[in-house]
């Protein structure tokens, strides 16, 4: 399996990127894929470990050694089969997953890790390009109906799985188009919306019904769902942004990141009017010609950076409350853990020309007489004692005209649907659903709505696990749907 | 009826309303089961071929016995022997003399018989039994003349022997006048004896336990008992009486692992004395039982036949069972040599030199009865003929000589009787498969060829074989119906196929015709503890040979192996007719679809086949499985009664509504049912199953009675894999199936050879498995007599397990194509959805982090993960809980520093792991005061000295070699404290032995017990080559057996050799857990090992077939508990250290190991993990990325382990143990050992399978009179070694390197001569320090075993006389010269002068031997230069270096596995065909250097020995040299060429 000595012979090579000056001219994806032969060589680098930490590190449990081997052996069809057995949407994760698998790759102990994400994307795009992704509706229908509320990665994954099991699935989406955060949060240059649509279309052809502009609890009564469906799956995401309650917050030009990003995605998609992710019409936010301050150092912040640059911002500064992370792994982030933000990295957007600063605490948003933002008064923090202390005399002003708040999300929106369904919430405000079943019989939850904000890969995983729970609930406890932790042929008691 | 824990008598017994004879200890206690006792021994006879009965023959016989004493053993008490005895002709004059005084008037010889009978001591019970005997005698138409109490003198006996001592009597029986002749009388006496034995047990008399008939015959009589050899004569004053005369004395001294006192188990038996072991005993017993209903003979009435049943006493030893069968066949009219040829046939199948008539004889008899297979030297007599035979492999030694007075002496060793050398006219040795027979009627030795021709030509066997059917001769089937391809996935799921099965197991088999290889140990749950549905095969663990019998090398010794089996044939064993040859021959046990169809529709010679469906309705909870089993058993009986002779059990009808009975259950259920009904012999059983796909499956099916297997789904899967391009290479379907079958064939041979079994017919039904986790009721009913100590799931759960798969296959909604493949498996590599593993990403990570950062919290997280796993159990210890806690302060507990001294790391060779890993571990263990282990790869002598602070590794071996340098502390040492001695003997020199604290004899390895190993050429770099005394780039083979351990007394010999090699080192014998390991451990303790190590089956490996890693051997919990219980019971526990290893991970594991009996513990895998191993399981590929298990310099640089990590690991482990000790209230480890009372089965287990498991047997407590841990030292008997004298004699050389010349006298009892002397020279002066010939000792007489073992440079030993086995083993530079007595009258060149396995593992030195040598000469020689006149079979086997010159003939299979060195052979007409050319080429001797070398060696031979043969060759050298050929290993030649090239290029540079 694999090429025994491949990791010694070949160097890591991932898909590349177009040069900055070229890519910032538009919103298209700027990856440069590898040739088929190059990908096969990357597959050869896999060592087929006895304990594949990559596979363990993958929230979906992708059987990475198997598909690497298949690719190396030019069995792209088998590679696809393996990949699809654990991952409903490799075209999403292949683009935007931070790839904890690669952090866990054993080759990574001694050399740059196997380019797993590159291989993954190559497999699925090869499949789309070569007609392997034709619709395959289930052979039999069970007659059971399931409503999935929310069409983000977790809702889509749940819908896809439940549809495979033969249940009739309807997906409710309050926005105009399906995809959730992938549609409205992630910029096109990172994930082309055709990729999302292509998948949604395939699912529709396989029998999944999508109802958009259908806001359950608002324009679709909860009772309708309860009546018409045997089970309900809640996958509405964690959409309540964390706010910055400092003086001046109400100033003009201070926006939650998601409003800015959603609006731009609408713009790129040439959809009518500008809407936020709730589908509500909003006023235009543009970074063009402005000095932009992005508060929050995470992925969403990065997306704001890239979008601002493309809109023609005069400058972009991204600040982070926490101190600058170390360049490499540390004692606290040893192999095979995924260090995530605990290790310094530069995103493609950040590479496009933004400044970054750390240990910055915003104190006040400064406004001109019209209430427009003209700057932010901030202070530097000293983290050396493990907790933040303001550095005396370090106060300064960041001059800017647009402030984007990218400090994460708190929990799902509680109003309307959740309230009306009456599901219990956990202490963080997420839907309480151990093993995906909520406190209300027949109602299940998955994704960020249940576990809090997280990665797309986790959302897909949540959707799959939830689907298995739903399927089992519909089938008196038995389910043959795949899920990562349980084999299909085992018993505990 | 005595209380014994045995299965109910089979129904064939009920038929006659009788019970089995029970004469032996049968009670099980905890894990001890008497069924697993073994023996081996010294055997011999003396006979006056002129037939003159004299007392001298008897007394000489007793003298032989005493001289073989060292081959026997005593238990905890020195004066309690394992048994000894003597069989003689009826001493009529003596009986006349002694009976007259007690009122018995004996008639003429031949008209009365004498029984030697053990009776209860209690007079009332005794008289009652005597009454029964008399009644039986008269019922059989004869009469008792009277009884004589045999005088005995028990004053020299030990208490254990006395505790079991019977009252011994002789009964005199008068022949009735109506009997035709003496032979009819002898038969009648046989009937009486069998009848009496049965009747007494049946009547349930008090004292029946003490009743036993040693012999009852008019011709011979047997004196034996639980005695040491010297006690025999003293105990039986009869034997000393001058009137006690015989022309024959057959003697035997027993070395047994036997652990319960037993008098009847002493040899000889009525017809034979046996040295060896019957490996196939279970199957042989079952098959004999199966044949009983068909027994008929004109020599016996039907009533007689009924009286002699059962033929085989179920509770006797293997030797006793063999004796039972020999006796029956002889009584029924065959001659004793004929019977021996039937039961212990030579390897005829592949012998090109054998005559057609002999082959026909063997083939014909092969259809009648399966071989009784195993190492054996059997001496036998019927009173007229006396002889001996060896097994086909020649695994036991036997030497003989004849005097000019026609006195013939044969014994396990030469030198047992001293005769003037000028009186000897012939000296020889028994050869594999050769019969050695002498006739007292014909007054001569009858040559093998003559006696066999006589027997083979007596009947037209060849002609009769015309009745044989070969499958390929049957008409081809019109069609082969297979289930539809589109249902293949469903059926694969139903039979439990996983992705891994396809990709990791089947693909390599299909592609390359080889089993898949893996590495590291298994760490997944036992089948009964797994959440997954397992196939039933997974509950059966393969057993294997260790110590008491050797495994075989099925590749290098392929000539003795055979896969041919037979179906059909006449069931009556007592006659020989043409219809006995009406058989179907199966070439191999795997049937293709085509072959199966031919058989299914067979209609020839009266054969017809019946197919029985083995599916049941897939409905849960209605006991459908049990009902289905009843049905198929009934159908099988019906089929046989209707005349079908082939029964095909088939699960092909599996569909969505019908599930398959597990094929193994179906086969075994039918097999045992038919045995019980007495019908088994009347039909062949074939299984057509979708389940079998890996070698272990096939082995199970055959082992439980199937004659052949058709794996139709495996074939279909192969086709499907090909269709889907899943096979890496392009192979046709035909080739793919061929490869698959070939891989299975090879795998089967390997599994058989692990147990020392060479032929399929003896393997079929032999049940060489232990069940783990199957309910007793299921085992008793369907797998009768399978060892099973962990009770578990019943039929309901087996049914549920089957239906779980069935539902998964047929009920799951079909998902999108391709998406819903098979289960991932996760057995061989960790998978999220797969099987649980103890070493998971999580535990590996936490363990590494804890030890790298000295982070006790992480350690506790790690142990929590592992110990939690034991709540979700993976291992048997996971089912145990602590109880009776008595907490004390941890400060009161033995310190960490003290506990860590009890740890050892595993035996991993330099070669299997890197230099960096090997030395890092050594440094750490030396700092802790624990022990690291060399493994079997030798050790670089530069590691032997401790270093100064600041020394770097590069200072010792040079920067070029120290790829990861490391600065050491003051007093650090790279030396491995334990030096392993394995079958390969790589680098085992005197210097190696001297530099050890402990010498470990590796009998088996947990990951692949019973198998050898191979270090692939790409792992043998220059350094490793030098350390192992081999050539770089040439693969190295470790043979499956130690060629100097075929038996327990051989192990005792090796222990003695090694103790001589280093008197300061303790000797450790490493065993692997399996049923019966306790009795083996007792034997090992009796053989004076200081340490006994019981390894679990889950230990690691650098390379092994994956199926061996998974399916061979048992968990250490079982083996350890058994060993501890048996050792305590026998008072042996306090003289050995008991050690265990196998996936020990946490303090909890260690605590349980201690409480089950181990006071020391080994850890290997975890130690590797803390040095960076991440369980890649790629050791065999040399691609370990972290530099642990690789020799690739680039990868070795990645090694980041540090001794400190290893130290921390062991300290944490000790601390963890201390916490448990404090909790339990133990202050010291010693007081903790064996405290099973503090362990209890875990309560509240709800797991669907695990809840049925009963582990109580493990927790059986045996009270001990002495300590339950090692508190005394073994007496190795070094004080009495001849070398003590030699040391004094050679003091000038030892002290001052001055020359010494002396003469000494040798006897066979002087064993291992020259070894202590050599060790002392090495110790004082270092290796190779002495001038050549500094010491020259001229010896006369017979050298005992292991003469000059590990003899060093500067020591020359010259023997005028002869030598025994293991001559010059491990020779390390010394010189040996051996020639016959100068006054001999026989031709020295054609007479045996030295025994078997000379020069085993010799590394340097030279020897000149004028005479014939035995089997396996120069096996594993890696450097010695030897000249010999002729040798036996398997010469130069596995040789890797040195030179061998043979001046006359060689035996068969020369140069098997020879990968280095050169042999020059005299080229007679048979030489070339006898060379095994798999690895070597035969060339003419033409190179000048070769010519010179050959001449110089022969010249030296002539000079040192005075060989006439050598002189004659030299006299005509120009012509002589043309008669020699050179045998050169191909790889070796290539490697030498490459090295020469490299040197040349280096020279240029």
CA angle at residue B275 from B269 to B279, to 5 degrees?
Answer: 100
- Whether residue A487 and residue B834 make contact (CB cut-off 8 A), yes or no, is yes
Q: Give contacts of B854 with chain A, Cβ < 8 Å.
A: none
Structure tokens at B1520: 């002589």
Give the best residue of A161, A464, A487 to mutate against chain B (max B CB count within 10 A).
A487
Query: Mean of the per-residue pLDDT values for chain B?
Result: 91
The pLDDT assigned to A486 comes to 64
Residues A220 and A171 in one domain: yes
Q: Give contacts of A50 with chain B, Cβ < 8 Å.
A: 520, 828-830, 1175-1178
Out of A10-14, B103-107, B264-268, B1441-1445, least confident range: B264-268
Give the best residue of B529, B727, B818 to mutate against chain A (max A CB count within 10 A).
B818
> Rounded distance, CA B759 to CA B753, Å?
9
> Rounded distance, CA B747 to CA B1504, Å?
48
Residue A244 domain-assigned (yes or no): no
* Contact (CB, 8 A) for B707 and B686: yes
Of A5, A51, A486, the CB nearest to B839: A51
Name the residue in chain B with its Cα closest to that of A483: B833
Query: For chain A, what is the domain count?
Result: 3
**What is the per-residue pLDDT across B1457-1475, written as a single tens digit (0 to 9) for each?**
999 999 999 998 899 999 9
Of A56, A106, A489, the CB nearest to B832: A56
- Domain termination residue (choose one: A74, A98, A129): A129
Enumerate residues 849 to 888 of chain B having a beta carbon within 8 A of any beta carbon in chain A. Answer: 849, 853
* Contact (CB, 8 A) for B541 and B522: no
Q: Give contacts of B834 with chain A, Cβ < 8 Å.
A: 487
Domain containing A103 equals 6-129
The C-alpha of A406 sits at a distance from chain B's nearest C-alpha, in angstroms, of 33
Q: What is the DSSP string of B124-173?
A: HHHHHHHHHHHHHHHHTT-EEEEEEEPP--GGG--HHHHHT--EEEEEEE
| 3-state secondary structure (DSSP) of residue B1013 | strand
Residue A139 domain-assigned (yes or no): no
Enumerate residues 710 to 729 of chain B having a beta carbon within 8 A of any beta carbon in chain A. Answer: 724-726, 728
Q: Give contacts of A484 with chain B, Cβ < 8 Å.
A: 832-833
Q: What is the mean pLDDT of residues B708-734?
A: 92
Residues A402 and A417 in one domain: no
| pLDDT exceeds 80 at position A489 | no
A-B CB pairs within 8 A amount to 167
Give the best residue of B831, B847, B1250 to mutate against chain A (max A CB count within 10 A).
B831
Residues A393 and A255 in one domain: yes
Q: ω before B310 within 30° of 0 (cis)?
A: yes
Residues A396 and A416 in one domain: no
Q: How confident is the model at residue B11 (pLDDT cuts 50, 70, 90)?
A: very low
Residues A393 and A441 in one domain: no
| pLDDT exceeds 50 at position B2 | no
Name the residue in chain A with its Cα closest to that of B808: A489
Q: What is the mean pLDDT of residues B680-691?
A: 95
- Whether residue B830 and residue A492 make contact (CB cut-off 8 A), yes or no, is no
The pLDDT assigned to B10 comes to 35
Residue A367 domain-assigned (yes or no): yes
- Domain termination residue (choose one: A391, A407, A423): A407
> Rounded distance, CA B392 to CA B344, Å?
7
Residue A349 domain-assigned (yes or no): yes
| pLDDT exceeds 80 at position B255 | no
Query: Which residue has 């500008």 as its token pair?
Result: A274
* Contact (CB, 8 A) for B900 and B1210: yes
The C-alpha of B518 sits at a distance from chain A's nearest C-alpha, in angstroms, of 10
Name the residue in chain B with its Cα closest to that of A84: B819
The pLDDT assigned to B30 comes to 72
Catalytic residues of B: 41
Structure tokens at B247: 């022309």
Residues A259 and A222 in one domain: no
Name the residue in chain B with its Cα closest to that of A164: B815
Structure tokens at B498: 């996983």
- Whether residue A56 and residue B840 make contact (CB cut-off 8 A), yes or no, is yes
Chain A contact for B16, CB < 8 A?
no
Percent of chain B with pLDDT over 90: 77
| 3-state secondary structure (DSSP) of residue A467 | helix
| pLDDT exceeds 80 at position B31 | no
The pLDDT assigned to B260 comes to 65
- Whether residue B832 and residue A142 make contact (CB cut-off 8 A), yes or no, is no
- Whether residue B818 and residue A84 make contact (CB cut-off 8 A), yes or no, is yes
Chain A contact for B1185, CB < 8 A?
yes
CATH of the domain at A152: 3.50.50.60
Residues A351 and A332 in one domain: yes
- Whether residue B1186 and residue A66 make contact (CB cut-off 8 A), yes or no, is no
Q: Give contacts of A493 with chain B, Cβ < 8 Å.
A: 1246-1248
- Domain termination residue (choose one: A375, A392, A407): A407
Q: Give contacts of A48 with chain B, Cβ < 8 Å.
A: 829, 1178
The C-alpha of A326 sits at a distance from chain B's nearest C-alpha, in angstroms, of 19
Residues A104 and A156 in one domain: no
Residue A447 domain-assigned (yes or no): yes
Q: ω before B441 within 30° of 0 (cis)?
A: no
Q: Give contacts of A205 with chain B, Cβ < 8 Å.
A: none
* Contact (CB, 8 A) for B337 and B431: no
Residues A265 and A397 in one domain: yes
Give the best residue of B833, B844, B872, B1251 to mutate against chain A (max A CB count within 10 A).
B833
Residue A182 domain-assigned (yes or no): yes
Residue A356 domain-assigned (yes or no): yes
Cβ burial of B557 (10 Å; 0-12, 13-18, 19+) is: buried
Residues A323 and A447 in one domain: no
Q: What is the mean pLDDT of residues B1213-1219?
A: 98
Element (H, E) at A410: strand A409-411
**What is the per-residue pLDDT across A39-90, written as a single tens digit (0 to 9) for each?**
999 999 999 999 999 999 899 999 999 999 999 999 999 999 999 989 999 9
Q: Which of A453, A447, A445 is nearest to A422 (CA)?
A: A445
End-to-end CA distance of chain A: 36
Higher-pLDDT residue of B560, B442: B442
Q: Give contacts of A104 with chain B, Cβ < 8 Å.
A: 841
> Rounded distance, CA B583 to CA B591, Å?
17
> Rounded distance, CA A110 to CA A114, Å?
11
- Whether residue A109 and residue B1186 make contact (CB cut-off 8 A), yes or no, is yes
Task: Give me the count of residues in chain B.
Answer: 1549
Cβ-proximal residues to B607 (8 Å cutoff; 6+ apart), any chain: B469, B568, B582, B584, B645, B646
| pLDDT exceeds 80 at position A281 | no
Residues A59 and A187 in one domain: no
Q: How confident is the model at residue B12 (pLDDT cuts 50, 70, 90)?
A: very low
Chain A contact for B817, CB < 8 A?
yes
B1166 phi and psi angles, rounded to 5 deg: -65, -35
Name the residue in chain B with its Cα closest to that of A167: B813
CATH of the domain at A102: 1.10.1060.10
Q: What is the DSSP string of B347-376?
A: --TT-TTS-HHHHHHHHHHHHH-----S-E
Q: What is the DSSP string of B1456-1517?
A: TT--EEEEEEE--TTHHHHB-TTSEEEEES-SHHHHHHHHHHHHHHHHHH--HHHHHHHHTH
End-to-end CA distance of chain B: 87
The pLDDT assigned to A448 comes to 97
Of B724, B808, B837, the CB nearest to A489: B808
The pLDDT assigned to B819 comes to 47
> Rounded distance, CA A48 to CA B1175, Å?
11
Residues A163 and A258 in one domain: no
Q: What is the mean pLDDT of residues B1022-1027?
A: 92
Whether the full predicted model's pTM is greater than 0.90, yes or no, is yes
Cα-to-chain-centroid distance, residue B787: 17
The conformational region for residue B876 under phi > 0 = left, psi -120 to 50 = alpha, else beta, is: alpha
**What is the per-residue pLDDT across A282-328, written as a single tens digit (0 to 9) for each?**
789 999 999 999 999 999 999 999 999 999 999 999 999 999 999 99
Residue A135 domain-assigned (yes or no): no
* Contact (CB, 8 A) for B1465 and B1473: no
> Rounded distance, CA A2 to CA A52, Å?
13
> Rounded distance, CA B123 to CA A409, Å?
97
Cβ-proximal residues to B795 (8 Å cutoff; 6+ apart), any chain: B623, B625, B626, B629, B775, B778
- Whether residue B1248 and residue A492 make contact (CB cut-off 8 A), yes or no, is yes
Chain A contact for B1245, CB < 8 A?
no
> Rounded distance, CA B406 to CA B49, Å?
6
- Whether residue B499 and residue A66 make contact (CB cut-off 8 A), yes or no, is yes
Q: What is the mean pLDDT of residues B1170-1194?
A: 94
The pLDDT assigned to B1213 comes to 98
B381 bridge partner residues: B386
Cβ burial of B919 (10 Å; 0-12, 13-18, 19+) is: buried
| pLDDT exceeds 90 at position A274 | no
Q: Which of B860, B880, B846 is nearest to B1213 (CA)?
A: B860
User: Percentage helix, strand, coil, to 5, in chain B?
Assistant: 40, 20, 40
Of B811, B821, B839, the CB nearest to A81: B821
* Contact (CB, 8 A) for B616 and B653: no
The pLDDT assigned to B27 comes to 53
The C-alpha of B1072 sits at a distance from chain A's nearest C-alpha, in angstroms, of 25
Q: Give contacts of A165 with chain B, Cβ < 8 Å.
A: 813, 815
* Contact (CB, 8 A) for B1014 and B1036: yes
Q: Which of B632, B994, B968, B615 is nearest to B802 (CA)?
A: B615
């Amino acid at each position: 399996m694999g090429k025994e000595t491949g990791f010694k012979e070949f160097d890591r090579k991932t898909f590349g990127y177009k040069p900055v000056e070229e890519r910032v001219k538009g919103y298209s994806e700027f990856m440069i894929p590898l040739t088929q032969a190059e990908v096969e060589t990357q597959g050869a680098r896999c060592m087929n470990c006895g304990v594949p930490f990559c596979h363990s590190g993958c929230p979906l449990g992708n059987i990475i050694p198997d598909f690497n081997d298949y690719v190396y052996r030019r069995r792209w069809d088998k590679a696809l089969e393996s990949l699809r057995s654990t991952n409903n949407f490799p075209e999403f994760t292949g683009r935007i997953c931070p790839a904890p698998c690669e952090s866990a790759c054993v080759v990574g102990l001694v050399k740059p890790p196997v380019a797993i994400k590159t291989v993954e994307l190559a497999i699925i795009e090869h499949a789309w390009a070569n007609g392997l992704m034709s619709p395959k509706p289930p052979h039999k229908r069970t007659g059971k109906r399931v409503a999935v509320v929310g069409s983000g990665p977790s809702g889509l994954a749940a819908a896809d799985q439940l549809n495979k099991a033969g249940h009739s699935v309807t997906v409710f989406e309050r926005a105009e188009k399906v995809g959730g955060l992938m549609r409205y949060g992630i910029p096109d240059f990172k994930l082309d919306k055709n990729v999302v649509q292509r998948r949604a279309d395939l699912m529709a052809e396989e029998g999944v019904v999508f109802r958009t502009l259908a806001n359950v609890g608002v324009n679709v009564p909860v009772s309708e769902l309860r009546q018409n469906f045997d089970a309900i799956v809640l996958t509405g995401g964690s959409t309540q942004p964390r706010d910055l309650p400092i003086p001046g917050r109400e100033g003009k030009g201070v926006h939650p990141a998601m409003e800015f990003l959603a609006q731009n995605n609408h713009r790129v998609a040439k959809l009518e009017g500008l809407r936020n992710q709730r589908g509500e019409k909003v006023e235009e936010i543009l970074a063009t010609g402005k000095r932009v301050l992005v508060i929050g150092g995470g992925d969403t912040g990065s997306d704001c950076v890239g979008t601002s640059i493309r809109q023609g911002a005069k400058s972009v500064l991204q600040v982070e409350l926490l101190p600058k992370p170390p360049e490499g792994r540390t004692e606290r982030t040893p192999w095979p853990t995924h260090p995530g933000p605990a290790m310094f990295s530069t995103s493609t957007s950040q590479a496009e020309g933004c400044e970054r600063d750390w240990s910055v605490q915003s104190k006040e948003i400064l406004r001109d007489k019209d209430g427009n933002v003209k700057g932010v008064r901030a202070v530097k923090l000293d983290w050396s004692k493990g907790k933040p202390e303001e550095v005396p005399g370090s106060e300064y002003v960041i001059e800017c005209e647009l402030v984007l708040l990218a400090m994460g999300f708190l929990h799902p929106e509680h109003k309307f649907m959740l309230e009306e369904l009456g599901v219990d919430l956990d202490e963080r405000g997420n839907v309480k659903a151990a093993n995906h079943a909520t406190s209300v019989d027949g109602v299940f939850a998955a994704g960020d709505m249940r576990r809090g904000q997280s990665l797309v890969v986790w959302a897909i995983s949540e959707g799959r696990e939830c689907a298995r729970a739903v399927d089992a609930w519909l089938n008196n406890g038995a389910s043959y749907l795949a899920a990562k932790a349980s084999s299909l042929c085992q018993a505990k008691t | 009826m005595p209380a014994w824990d045995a299965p109910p008598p089979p129904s064939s017994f009920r038929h006659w309303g009788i019970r089995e004879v029970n004469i032996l200890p049968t009670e099980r206690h905890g894990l001890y089961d008497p069924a697993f006792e073994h023996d081996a021994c010294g055997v011999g006879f003396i006979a006056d071929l002129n037939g003159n009965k004299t007392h001298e023959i008897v007394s000489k016989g007793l003298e032989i016995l005493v001289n073989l004493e060292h081959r026997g053993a005593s238990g905890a008490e020195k004066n309690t022997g394992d048994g000894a005895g003597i069989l003689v002709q009826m001493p009529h004059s003596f009986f006349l003399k002694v009976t007259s005084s007690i009122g018995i008037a004996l008639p003429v010889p031949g008209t009365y018989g004498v029984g030697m009978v053990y009776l209860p001591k209690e007079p009332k019970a005794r008289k009652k039994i005597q009454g029964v005997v008399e009644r039986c005698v008269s019922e059989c138409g004869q009469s008792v003349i009277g009884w004589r109490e045999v005088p005995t003198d028990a004053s020299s006996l030990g208490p254990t022997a006395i505790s079991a001592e019977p009252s011994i009597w002789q009964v005199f029986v008068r022949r009735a006048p109506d009997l035709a002749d003496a032979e009819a009388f002898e038969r009648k006496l046989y009937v009486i004896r069998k009848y009496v034995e049965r009747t007494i047990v049946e009547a349930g008399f008090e004292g029946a336990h003490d009743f036993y008939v040693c012999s009852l015959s008019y011709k011979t009589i047997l004196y034996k008992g639980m005695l040491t050899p010297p006690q025999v004569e003293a105990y039986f004053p009869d034997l000393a009486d001058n009137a006690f005369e015989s022309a024959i004395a057959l003697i035997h001294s027993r070395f047994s692992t036997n652990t319960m006192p037993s008098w009847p188990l002493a040899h000889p038996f009525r017809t034979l004395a046996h040295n060896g072991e019957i490996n196939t005993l279970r199957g042989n017993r079952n098959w004999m039982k199966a044949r009983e209903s068909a027994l008929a003979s004109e020599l016996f009435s039907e009533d007689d036949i009924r009286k002699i049943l059962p033929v085989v006493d179920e509770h006797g030893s293997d030797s006793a069972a063999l004796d039972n069968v020999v006796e029956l066949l002889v009584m029924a009219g065959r001659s004793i040599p004929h019977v021996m040829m039937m039961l212990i046939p030579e390897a005829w199948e592949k012998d090109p030199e054998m005559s057609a008539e002999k082959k026909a004889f063997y083939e014909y008899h092969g259809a009648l009865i399966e071989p009784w297979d195993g190492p054996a030297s059997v001496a036998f007599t019927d009173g007229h003929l006396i002889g001996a035979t060896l097994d086909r492999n020649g695994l036991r030694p036997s030497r003989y000589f004849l005097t000019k007075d026609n006195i013939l002496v044969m014994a396990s060793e030469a030198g047992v009787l001293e005769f003037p050398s000028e009186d000897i006219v012939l000296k020889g040795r028994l050869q594999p498969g050769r019969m050695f027979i002498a006739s007292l009627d014909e007054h001569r030795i009858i040559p093998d060829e003559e006696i066999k021709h006589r027997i083979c030509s007596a009947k037209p066997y060849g002609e009769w074989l015309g009745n044989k059917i070969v499958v390929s001769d049957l008409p081809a089937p019109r069609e082969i119906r297979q289930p539809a391809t589109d249902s293949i996935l469903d059926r694969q799921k139903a039979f439990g196929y996983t992705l891994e099965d396809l990709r990791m197991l089947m693909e390599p088999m299909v592609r390359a015709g080889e089993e898949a290889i893996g590495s590291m140990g298994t760490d997944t749950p036992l089948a009964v503890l797994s959440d997954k549905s397992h196939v039933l095969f997974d509950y059966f663990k393969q057993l294997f040979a260790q110590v008491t019998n050797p495994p075989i090398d099925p590749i290098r010794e392929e000539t003795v192996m055979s896969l041919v089996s037979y179906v059909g044939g006449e069931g009556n064993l007592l006659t020989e007719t043409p219809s006995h040859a009406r058989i179907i021959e199966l070439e191999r046990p795997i049937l293709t679809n085509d072959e199966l169809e031919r058989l299914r529709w067979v209609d020839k010679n009266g054969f017809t086949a019946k197919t029985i469906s083995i599916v049941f309705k897939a409905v849960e909870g209605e006991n459908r499985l049990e009902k289905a089993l009843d049905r198929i058993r009934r159908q099988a009986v019906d089929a046989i009664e209707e005349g079908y002779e082939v029964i095909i059990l088939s699960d092909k009808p599996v569909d969505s509504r019908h599930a398959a009975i597990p094929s193994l259950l179906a086969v075994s259920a039918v097999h045992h049912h038919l045995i019980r009904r007495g019908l088994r012999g009347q039909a062949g059983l074939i299984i057509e199953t979708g389940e079998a796909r890996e070698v272990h499956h096939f082995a199970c099916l055959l082992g439980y009675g199937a004659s052949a297997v058709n794996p139709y789904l495996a074939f279909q899967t192969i086709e499907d894999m090909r269709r889907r391009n899943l096979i890496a290479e392009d192979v046709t379907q035909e080739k793919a199936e061929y490869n698959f079958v070939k891989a299975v064939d090879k795998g089967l041979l390997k599994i058989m050879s692990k147990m020392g079994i060479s032929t399929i017919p003896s393997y079929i039904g032999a049940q060489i498995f232990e069940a783990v986790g199957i309910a007793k009721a299921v085992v008793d009913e369907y797998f009768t007599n399978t060892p099973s100590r962990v009770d578990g799931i019943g039929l309901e759960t087996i049914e549920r397990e089957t239906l779980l798969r069935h539902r998964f296959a047929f009920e799951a909604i079909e998902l999108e194509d391709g998406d819903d493949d098979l289960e991932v498996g996760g057995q061989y590599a960790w998978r999220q959805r797969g099987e649980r593993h103890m070493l998971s990403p999580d535990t590996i990570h936490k363990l590494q982090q804890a030890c790298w950062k000295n982070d006790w919290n992480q350690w506790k997280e790690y142990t929590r993960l592992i110990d939690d796993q034991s709540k979700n159990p993976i291992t048997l210890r996971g089912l145990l809980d602590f109880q009776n806690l008595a907490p004390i302060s941890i400060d009161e507990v033995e310190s960490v520093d003290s506990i860590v001294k009890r740890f050892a790391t595993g035996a991993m060779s330099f070669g299997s792991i890197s230099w960096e890993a090997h030395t890092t571990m050594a440094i750490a263990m030396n700092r802790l005061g624990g022990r690291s282990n060399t493994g079997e790869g030798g050790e670089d002598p530069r590691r032997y000295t401790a270093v100064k602070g600041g020394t770097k590794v590069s200072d010792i071996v040079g920067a070029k070699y120290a790829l990861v340098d490391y600065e050491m502390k003051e007093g650090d040492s790279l030396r491995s404290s334990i030096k392993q001695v394995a079958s390969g003997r790589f680098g085992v020199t005197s210097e190696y032995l001297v530099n050890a604290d402990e010498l470990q004899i590796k009998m088996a390895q947990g990951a692949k017990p019973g198998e050898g190993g191979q270090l692939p050429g790409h792992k043998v770099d220059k350094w490793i080559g030098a350390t192992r005394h081999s050539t770089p780039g040439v693969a190295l083979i470790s043979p499956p057996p130690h060629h100097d351990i075929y038996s327990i007394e051989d192990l005792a010999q090796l222990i003695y050799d090694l103790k001589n090699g280093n008197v300061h080192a303790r000797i450790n014998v490493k065993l692997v857990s399996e049923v019966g390991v306790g009795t083996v451990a007792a034997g090992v303790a009796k053989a004076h090992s200081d340490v006994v190590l019981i390894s679990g089956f889950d230990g690691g490996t650098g390379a092994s077939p994956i199926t061996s890693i998974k399916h061979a051997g048992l968990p250490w919990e079982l083996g350890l508990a058994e060993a501890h219980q048996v050792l305590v019971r026998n008072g042996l526990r306090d003289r050995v250290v008991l050690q265990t290893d196998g996936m020990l991970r946490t303090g909890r594991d260690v605590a349980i190991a201690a409480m089950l009996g181990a006071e020391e513990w080994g850890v290997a895998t975890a130690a590797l993990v803390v040095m960076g191993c991440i369980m890649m399981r790629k050791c065999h590929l040399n691609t370990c990325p972290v530099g642990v298990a690789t020799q690739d310099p680039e990868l070795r640089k990645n090694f980041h382990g540090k001794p400190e990590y290893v130290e921390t690991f062991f300290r944490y482990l000790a601390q963890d143990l201390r916490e448990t000790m404090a909790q339990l209230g133990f202050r010291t480890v010693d007081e903790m050992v064996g405290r099973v009372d503090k362990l209890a089965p875990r309560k509240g287990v709800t797991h669907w399978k695990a809840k049925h498991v009963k582990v109580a047997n493990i927790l059986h407590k045996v009270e001990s009179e002495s300590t339950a841990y090692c508190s005394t030292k073994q007496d190795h008997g070094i004080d009495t070694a001849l070398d003590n004298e030699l040391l004094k004699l050679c003091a000038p050389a030892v002290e001052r390197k001055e020359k010494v010349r002396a003469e000494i006298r040798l006897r066979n009892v002087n064993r291992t001569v020259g070894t202590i002397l050599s060790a002392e020279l090495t110790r004082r002066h270092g290796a190779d320090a002495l001038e050549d010939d500094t010491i020259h000792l001229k010896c006369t007489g017979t050298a005992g075993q292991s003469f000059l073992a590990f003899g060093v440079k500067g020591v020359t030993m010259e023997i005028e006389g002869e030598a025994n086995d293991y001559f010059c083993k491990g020779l390390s530079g010394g010189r040996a010269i051996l020639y016959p007595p100068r006054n001999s009258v026989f031709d020295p060149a054609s007479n045996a002068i030295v025994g078997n396995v000379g020069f085993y593992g010799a590394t340097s030195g030279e020897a000149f031997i004028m005479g014939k040598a035995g089997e396996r000469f120069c096996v594993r020689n890696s450097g010695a230069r030897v000249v010999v006149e002729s040798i036996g079979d398997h010469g130069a086997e596995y040789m890797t270096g040195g030179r061998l010159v043979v001046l006359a003939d060689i035996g068969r299979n020369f140069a098997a596995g020879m990968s280095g060195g050169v042999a020059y052979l005299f080229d007679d007409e048979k030489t070339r065909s006898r060379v095994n050319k798999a690895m070597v080429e035969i060339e003419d001797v033409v190179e000048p250097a070769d010519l010179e070398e050959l001449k110089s060696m022969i010249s030296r031979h002539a000079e040192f020995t005075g060989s006439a043969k050598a002189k004659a060759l030299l006299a005509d050298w120009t012509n002589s040299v043309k008669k020699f050929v050179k045998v050169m290993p191909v790889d070796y030649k290539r490697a030498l060429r490459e090295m020469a090239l490299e040197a040349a290029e280096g020279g240029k540079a």
